[in-house]
Amino acid sequence: MGMPSNPTEVPKGNFNGFKSHFKHDILSGFLVFLIALPLCLGISLASGYPAVAGIFTAIIGGLVATFISNSELTIKGPAAGLIVIALGCVQEFGFTGGVDPEKDFQAYRLALGVGVVAGIYQIILGLFRVGVLMKLFPSAAIHGLLASIGIIIISKQFPVLMGLSPQGAPLELLASIPSFIINMNPRVGLIGLLGVAIVLSYGYINNPRLKVIPAPMLMLLIIVPLGTFLGIGVEGTYTFNSQTFELGQKFLVNVPGNLLNAVTLPDFSGITTETGIKYTLLFAIIGTLESMLSAKAIDQIDPWKRKTNLDRDLLATGMANTLSAFIGGLPMISEIVRSKANIDNGAKTRFANFYHGMFLLLCVALIPGLINQIPLAALAALLVITGYRLASPHEFITIYREGRDQFVIFVSTILGVLATDLLKGLAIGIAVKIIIHFIRGGSVFSLNAKIIPERDQSITIFLRGSIIFSSWIPLQRQLQRFLDDGKRVTLDITETKLVDRRVMSKIEDWKKIFKDKGLELNVKAMYTSIDE
């Protein structure tokens, strides 16, 4: 992680910061660009959008959002977590997967219309400072949602990695993995499996000079020449083990030679349909949740402990999303992997995000022919690994260790998503959380508390019952009131049946807020009262 050279000097993303930290930010921006390029292409294609759509998104995220958000280290761009939503949107609008290019293009334009409206929703949420509501979604349900997205990504991209293109439900595709391996296109499958091996073995490389090149780009530097040698993009067939397999341009990325020719305007005729309304909500809600989670996570590892104004960041994301969809881009979020790499590469200010967008613009404008040599199987390899990380066994173990209740919510959300869709699955996870809350004697959006003023002008708040995500709004209101009054506060949770870990995390944040004001916020607790 990049550490501050002078801990007392906090870098700021203003004009002075632009000049002072130019070398650090442009270097980090370039290294993040090397990571972002293959991921943007892969996410676009997996979403049913043209390959260049993800590039548009990252360019707008870098060149526009940088100057609106105060988040100093996050990188804006397309995210694997939104693949399932984007693909579902174009499919329900008539996407055929290449069978009928005219229908595919129309589905893409209709999805862009949905993206514009979703971006406007995010702008409204940011302007009216209701981002706090997004922070109240149960953590276990959100992690379950992301894990289910990871499972779906693996199911959809593994066949592409093998040089195949079957259709089906996620569980059906997962069950067919042995069949995909048996029936794979050998040359394409070799490219895909080697891509997975290169990225997974990257952590074992000890040569610091070689590790300057990020894993995705190192993989492409090996895979692209190999793909050319194997003739992956040459139209024709070959025989292996007495079977005939196809090769050709359909196995390679395809971006236009002129970037302006790729600009596509949205079609708004679908925004009032059932499909349009559903995916507008999904893009706005899931995108906002993912973006906020990423921004908060990056704040926690910021070497200077700078804090992102989440409402302002949401406003920036919404404005950038609206503009991105207007020219043909995917939805964007504050992307966690690229943001973490940004810190590790020594970025100081938000201008690293700007430079990453600028390098992407120069790349796709000046060398589109080189991009068109990238095998789709290599991009699928990156996405399969991304999907695995979202739904890894470690994620299941981590949630289980947080408590049985959390694990039940987590698994319920995953099963709900796989059995229905993302929105219904998330609703199922929230419903399970509320049911558990009621079982433990809680209520929704109310606070079972007794407030006692002490003789020393301090306040004691006795909490009772179950305190979950929906209880946080009234509790936060009380804390804000006593903070404004200059009171010291003690939260007594010894009589609670359960306190959600997400609420406890927010209480810890408020301890720091009180401390910054020269006040105290203390918690009197028993270990058994914390979320089971």
The domains of the chain are located at 15-385, 393-439, 449-529
Unique residue bearing structure tokens 């949770």: 493
pLDDT higher than threshold 60 for residue 532: no
Question: What is the per-residue pLDDT for 528?
Answer: 43
pLDDT at 442: 64
How far apart are the C-alpha atoms of 245 and 237, rounded to whole Å? 5
Pick the range with the lowest mean pLDDT from 19-33, 161-175, 282-296, 493-507: 493-507
Per-residue pLDDT, 465:
79
34, burial (CB in 10 Å: exposed 0-12, middle 13-18, buried 19+) = buried
For residue 320, give both structure tokens.
Answer: 């950038």
Instruction: Name the token pair of 95.
Output: 């996407």
Cβ-based burial of 468 (10 A; exposed 0-12, middle 13-18, buried ≥19): buried
Residue among 162, 21, 131, 138 at smallest CA distance from 69: 131
Q: Is the pLDDT of residue 530 over 70?
A: no
Tell me what the mean pLDDT of segment 473-500 comes to.
Answer: 88
Q: For the whole model, what pTM was predicted?
A: 0.86
The pLDDT value given to residue 468: 76
| Residue whose structure tokens are 């959390």 | 406
Cα–Cα distance measured from residue 420 to residue 399, given in angstroms and rounded to the nearest whole number: 22
CB 84 within 8 A of CB 152: yes
Residue 1's pLDDT band, with cuts at 50, 70 and 90, is very low
Question: Residue 6: what pLDDT?
Answer: 54
Pick the CATH number of 449-529 from 3.90.230.10, 3.20.20.80, 3.20.20.450, 3.30.750.24: 3.30.750.24
Q: pLDDT for 65-82, tens place per residue? A: 999 999 999 999 999 999
Q: Can you tell me the distance from the alpha carbon of 327 to that of 468, in angstroms, rounded to the nearest whole number?
A: 42
pLDDT greater at residue 355 or residue 437: 355
> Angle, to 10 degrees, between the axis of helix 404-419 and the axis of helix 393-401?
140
Angstrom distance (rounded) from CA 486 to CA 495: 26
pLDDT in tens, 396-428: 999 998 888 889 999 999 999 999 888 899 999
SS3 annotation, 146-186: HHHHHHHHHHHHHHHHCCCCCCCCHHHHHHCHHHHHHCCCH
List CB contacts of 424: < 8 A, sequence separation 6 or more: 416, 417
Q: Left (φ > 0), alpha (ψ -120 to 50) or beta: where does 349 sit?
A: beta
Confidence band of 497 (pLDDT split at 50, 70, 90) = confident
Q: What is the pLDDT of residues 450-482, one digit of tens each?
A: 899 987 779 999 988 778 777 887 888 899 999
